[in-house]
Amino acid sequence: MAKFYGAIGYAETVETRPGVSVERITERMYFGDLIRNIRKLQTSGQLNDNVNIANEISIVADPFANENFHAMRYVEFMGAKWKIESVEVQYPRLILSIGGVYNGETASASSDSVGDPGK
């Protein structure tokens, strides 16, 4: 099994002003194992096929991850951010199934959103 260390992005709904809410992304770093590593090409109506991966990453979950696994949006793996398609709870681990490239909001570099699971 290959080892994994990377950022996972969480979405949190924040009210910016009365009646207006937006999703704010924060990142936390995790250790784990790469338990499945598969590449898929998805044929589309475009000139080039889309590259998807069907990987599974098992992370050692801290209390924050256990309480907020429903808010996980992406995982940073091999230099790209990949969409988390499903999360399976196998305490004390979480199994993340990832798919296509994540194109949504990401954590801003200026925020202090990077946490350490050891703290």
pLDDT at 116: 47
**Distance (Å, whole) CA 113 – CA 70:** 18
50-91 pLDDT, tens digit each? 677 788 999 999 999 999 999 999 999 988 999 999 999 998
Please say if the pLDDT value at position 94 is more than 60: yes
Please tell me the predicted confidence (pLDDT) of residue 105. Answer: 85
Does the pTM exceed 0.85?
no
Rounded percentage of the chain residues whose pLDDT exceeds 70: 80
pLDDT band at residue 99 using 50, 70 and 90 as cut-offs: confident
DSSP lists the bridge partners of residue 81 as: 76
Structural domains of the chain ordered from first start: 2-101 (2.40.10)
